Amino acid sequence: MKKPITLLLLAAAGVCGAGLYSCAKSDAKSDAPRGFDVANLDTTVSPGTDFYDYACGGWIKANPLKPEFSRFGTFDLLAERSREQVRELINSLTAQENPAGSNAQKIADLYSMGMDSLRLNEEGAAALKPGLDRIASANREELMELMATLPGVDAFFGTGVEADLKDSNKNVMYWSQSGLGLGDRDYYTEDTERNQTIREAYKTFLSTVARLAGMDEEAAARMVENTMAVETALASKQMTRVQLRDVAAGYNPIAVADLSAKYPNINLPAYFKAQGLEAEVDTVVVGQPEYYAAVNDMIGSMSEESLRDYLTAGYIASATPYLSDDFVNARFELSKVLSGVEEQQPRWKRALSVPNGMLGEALGELYVAKYFPASSKQKMTDLVENLRVALGQHIDSLTWMSDATKAKAREKLAAFTVKIGYPDKWRDYSALTIDPSKSYWENIQEAIIFNNRYNLSDYGKPVDRDRWYMSPQTVNAYYNPTTNEICFPAGILQAPYFNPDASDAENYGAIGVVIGHEMTHGFDDQGRQFDKDGNFADWWTEEDATAFESLADKLVAQFDEIEVLPGTHANGRLTLGENIADQGGLRVAYTAYHNALDGKEDTIVEGFNGDQRFYLSYANVWAGNIRDAEILQRTQTDPHSLGRWRVNASLRNLEPFFQAFGIKEGDKMYRPAEERVVIW
């Protein structure tokens, strides 16, 4: 099952305190991390030369990368804290007798199986045999059933149920490109030295796990060759990540009968039947019609041996994290090449990620009971409303937008649904069986099938607007355009971002910007194409849309100029939505902060006024160290700009920032007024 195509997630960081609920001022005492700390500064660097290094240099020097991380920053520090909290919860479950079939039993047993290295190493590849036998005996006609029922394998394409983009109250079936072991098409299609190295590492990985699974040298070599041939052919027909941002191009409802007649090798009725879908699917929204045609041709023309090898490779690769150490280590060797990470995460982190992901809300219910008081939810609610007021003020003051479009924008803003902390209704996991007498991989497959069926069960039903798309313990936030909602899980609402002992300047500069960021996603280059009800609809005048696109193009050009490493530039078009949201979040949070001051002067703290602490707190959200390989990987695949540029590039468009630090013409951080881009 593919991931939702309409859900715009961001790697955020945040937490709050706001003027409305009387946060303590700078003389408050707290052991919790703060958004502003002079120890984070590097005062050997001028703020006008490189604000990121000035604001974060001290933190960067004090937190060198550990071998297990390819990137580590304040956001990751918060994620580590959340992980430790979840570990404590799970350890308490494993130390007790849990009723059979309870969520506690499922969580504890799944974690314990992941921790049992002796059993995993003893079993080796045995758990793979039933799946490999099915693949080995399949003919071309049985391919659809295999593709539909092999857990964890998105061979050729992915399907899933989501809200209809043009009728946001109805769930429909989507079909989209997938099937690449390396994830991104550019690894196969762009013949750079780095991509060649990655492809060779991938082939080594496939060969290694094939031999571990019991293949002889000749069969393993053939599998690698056939898999690379299939995936390279698929990659050449797939859309780029930038092209995938075109919402209109990805919305192509087509009758299944028409697809079956024109593309007989993709037997969708058989595919959905094999998945156990009870309702008949009459129409599918095809994300990439040209790719659909290419897959049909490939399935029909490639040899059965090639197709079986491709499925075999995908099946083994999907199982490697849940088998013996030899398999896990083979995957890690590939990760080292992709991200530059030097050391594997400890087993407990890897084991914990399984129940944390597959039974996320079951763990979340325990998490919020211990770590997220009701008072925090109310405080966040107040802060969000402050930011909503500020964004409305920005909409009203826009010089490039007409009154007619402003009115529609205000309607959409007023219609935002806000989700904070945790869902009101918890998900039911009673139909999932976790049986410790079976292998770890068998149980993982059961969980994958359970979650796929959970998604498929929505087909043809009204959209559940109360559903959450992140678990409460997740350190992140999101905006979903089809439900016009912003969501802030409990995991992100911790210090240094959610700290009632911090000043308003710090809280608005940290979680306030994150909230403003998510709100602005509703009006970025993708979000602006959805109306207040979550429908893909044009509510703009033609002139206003042209003005927006002109400003967006200028922002793209600003980021395209950034050289992230010698010879490698940022991709302003890929990161456009996040860059718009970063800038919008900064501007809206700054306005909300000054609204909270209500004309009063903020206090001076260790020589820094409120505006300075606001911007320093924002920069500290993205403080971090990162390896060169990870920089290259994220620049190629991540719709978010790197942390350094989320700070420096965004701030260079903001006049209040220049005023706060006395940045003037001639300073590297300065950008002339006529070159600045302000959208929201």
Residue of 162, 446, 518, 578 with catalytic role: 518
For residue 7, pLDDT over 80 is answered with no
Question: Is position 340 within any domain?
Answer: no
Same-domain status, 39 and 164: no
Q: Let me know if residue 552 belongs to a domain.
A: yes
> Concatenated DSSP letters for 505-570?
HHHIIIIIHHHHHHHHHTTSTTGGGB-TTS-B---S-HHHHHHHHHHHHHHHHHHHT-EEETTEE-
Over residues 33-41, the mean pLDDT reads: 83
In terms of domains, do 151 and 28 share one? no
Which residue in 504, 544, 582, 630 is the catalytic one?
Answer: 582
DSSP 45: S
Domain end residue (candidates: 322, 354, 388): 322
The per-residue pLDDT for 18 is: 22
**Do 19 and 141 reside in the same domain of the chain?**
no
Residue 10 predicted with pLDDT over 70: no
On the question of pLDDT at 210 being above 60, the answer is yes
Shared domain check, 238 and 173: yes
At 35, is the pLDDT very low, low, confident or very high (cuts 50, 70, 90)?
low
Whether 542 is catalytic = no
Q: Which residues pair with 290 in a beta bridge?
A: none
Distance CA 168, CA 463 (A): 7
Mean pLDDT for 627-632 is 97
Please name which of 86, 14, 105 lies closest in space to residue 357, comparing C-alpha atoms. 86
Distance CA(435)–CA(448), nearest Å, equals 14
Distance separating alpha carbons of residues 680 and 677, to the nearest angstrom:
10
Amino acid found at 678? V
CA angle 252, 256, 257 (to 5 degrees): 125
Is 626 in a helix, a strand, or coil? strand
Q: What is the mean pLDDT of residues 484-501?
A: 87
**C-alpha distances in angstroms, 595 versus 25, 160, 502, 590, 599?**
16, 44, 18, 9, 8
pLDDT of residue 494: 84
- Comparing CA positions, the residue from 317, 340, 341, 311 lying closest to residue 330 is 317
Shared domain check, 382 and 274: no
When pLDDT is cut at 50, 70 and 90, the band that residue 159 belongs to is very high
Look at residue 380 in the predicted model and tell me its pLDDT: 86
74 with 137, same domain?
A: no
Per-residue pLDDT at 548 exceeds 50: yes
User: For position 486, which CATH number holds?
Assistant: 3.40.390.10
Average pLDDT on 47-61 reads: 97
Which one of 322, 351, 385 terminates a domain? 322
Q: Is the peptide bond before 496 cis (omega within 30 degrees of 0)?
A: yes
Q: What's the pLDDT score for residue 144?
A: 86
Domain boundary pick from 322, 339, 354: 322
Residue 629 neighbours by CB under 8 Å, 6+ apart:
70, 337, 338, 339, 340
Q: What is the SS3 assignment for 158?
A: strand
Asked if the structure places residue 283 within a domain, the reply is yes
Q: What is the CATH number of the domain that holds 219?
A: 1.10.1380.10
User: Of all residues in the chain, what percent carry a pLDDT higher than 90?
Assistant: 89
Percent of the chain with pLDDT over 70: 95
Q: Are residues 186 and 268 in the same domain?
A: yes
- pLDDT surpassing 50 at residue 29: no
- Residue from 311, 323, 324 nearest 152 by CA: 311
| Mean per-residue pLDDT, 340-362 | 97
Quick one: 639 and 543 in the same domain?
A: yes
The residues that bridge with 605 in the sheet, in sequence order, are: 608
Looking at residues 23-29, what average pLDDT do you find? 29
pLDDT of residue 203: 98
For the cut 70, the answer to whether the pLDDT of residue 534 exceeds it is: yes
- Determine the average pLDDT of the residues in 169-180: 97
Domain count, the chain: 2
pLDDT for residue 36: 85
For 572-624, how does the pLDDT look when each residue is reduced to its tens digit (9 = 90+)?
999 999 999 999 999 999 999 999 999 998 999 999 999 999 999 999 999 99
Using 50, 70 and 90 to split pLDDT, how confident is the model at 501? Answer: confident
Given a cut of 70, is residue 635 above it in pLDDT?
A: yes
Angle between helices 304-319 and 129-137 (to 10 degrees): 170
Confidence tier at 462 by pLDDT (50, 70, 90): very high
The total of other beta-carbon atoms located within 10 Å of residue 556's CB is 20
Domain assignment present for residue 390? The answer is yes
Determine the pLDDT at residue 502.
Answer: 82
Residue 623 phi, psi (nearest 5)? -60, 135
Tell me which amino acid residue 362 is: A
Mean pLDDT of 179-195: 96
- Tell whether 99 is covered by a domain: no
Give residues with Cβ within 8 angstroms of 561, minimum separation 6.
569
Considering the domain architecture, whether residues 499 and 553 belong to the same structural domain is answered as: yes
Determine the average pLDDT of the residues in 437-465.
97
Stretch 357-362: mean pLDDT:
97
241 pLDDT band (50/70/90 cuts)? very high
> Same domain, yes or no, for 81 and 132?
no
256-265 long-range Cβ contacts below 8 angstroms, 24+ apart: 256/281, 256/282, 256/283, 256/284, 257/282, 259/284, 259/286, 259/292, 263/292, 263/293, 263/296, 264/296, 264/300, 265/295, 265/296, 265/297, 265/299, 265/300
582 is catalytic: yes
* Geometric angle at alpha carbon 74, from 71 and 80, rounded to 5°: 75
pLDDT at residue 359, as a whole number: 97
Whether residue 276 is found in the same domain as residue 389? no
Across the chain, mean pLDDT equals 93
Residue-level pLDDT at 557: 98
**pLDDT reported for residue 20:** 21
Domain membership flag for residue 179? yes
Are residues 241 and 306 located together in one domain of the fold? yes
Residue 533's domain comprises 10-85+372-425+466-675
87-132 per-position pLDDT tens digit: 999 999 999 999 999 999 999 999 999 999 999 999 999 999 999 9
Q: If pLDDT is split at 50, 70 and 90, which confidence band does 8 have?
A: very low
Q: Mean pLDDT lowest for which of 24-33, 71-80, 641-650?
A: 24-33
State yes or no: pLDDT of 378 exceeds 90: no
Confirm whether 530 is domain-assigned: yes
**Does residue 47 belong to any structural domain of this protein?**
yes
Nearest CA among 491, 472, 382 for reference residue 82: 491
| pLDDT tens track for 389-423 | 999 999 999 999 999 999 999 999 999 999 999 99
